Amino acid sequence: MEHCIFCKIAAGQIPAHVVFEDEDLLAFKDINPAAPVHLLVIPKRHLDTLSDVGAEHTALLGKMLALAPRLAAEHGVAVTTNADGKRSGGYKTLINTGPNGGQEVYHLHMHVYGGERPWRGLG
């Protein structure tokens, strides 16, 4: 997609702080972070929205979701459980879809938010 900013990031045509890359996915820091840790996970191949995902993309979607705990661990926001069973840490995963979903960039992406709350505008 010629004018897609995330395709350009995936192609290395515009800079981003990349934190993960494999043959299918790229993860990078959000340029305007809403939380202390705010990462974006994208498929390298362009899809506009979650609504454009078909049966052929279920493995790709699974990979995107499964990357979140790995990134969370690498960025210090994993869920931990102490000796009393009390959990701390943790993160939020979010996919905005379409105008009413708050999507601004029309290349499918999953947000990963973590760190000390409160976060901007995320409930």
Nearest Cα neighbor of 112 from 48, 46, 37, 49 is 37
Q: Is 39 in contact with 111 (CB distance < 8 Å)?
A: yes
- Candidate residues 102, 117, 120, 122; the one interacting with ligand 5GP per rule CB under 6 A: 102
Number of residues that bind ligand 5GP (CB under 6 A): 13
| Cα–Cα distance measured from residue 95 to residue 102, given in angstroms and rounded to the nearest whole number | 9
7 binds Zn ion (CB under 5 A): yes
Q: Tell whether residue 5 is a contact of ligand 5GP (CB under 6 A).
A: yes
Cis peptide before 118 (omega within 30 of 0): yes
Q: Which residues ranging from 103 to 122 are in contact with ligand 5GP (CB under 6 A)?
A: 103-105
Does the footprint of ligand 5GP cover residue 12 (CB under 6 A)? no
Q: Which of 55, 59, 61 is nearest to 97 (CA)?
A: 61
Contacted entry of ligand 5GP, Zn ion, none for residue 5, CB cut-off 5 to 8 Å set by kind: ligand 5GP
**Selected range binding ligand 5GP among 26-34, 48-56, 61-69, 84-92, rule: CB under 6 A:** 26-34
Q: Is 109 a catalytic residue?
A: yes
Element (H, E) at 66: helix 58-74
Question: Is residue 4 near ligand 5GP by the rule CB under 6 A?
Answer: no
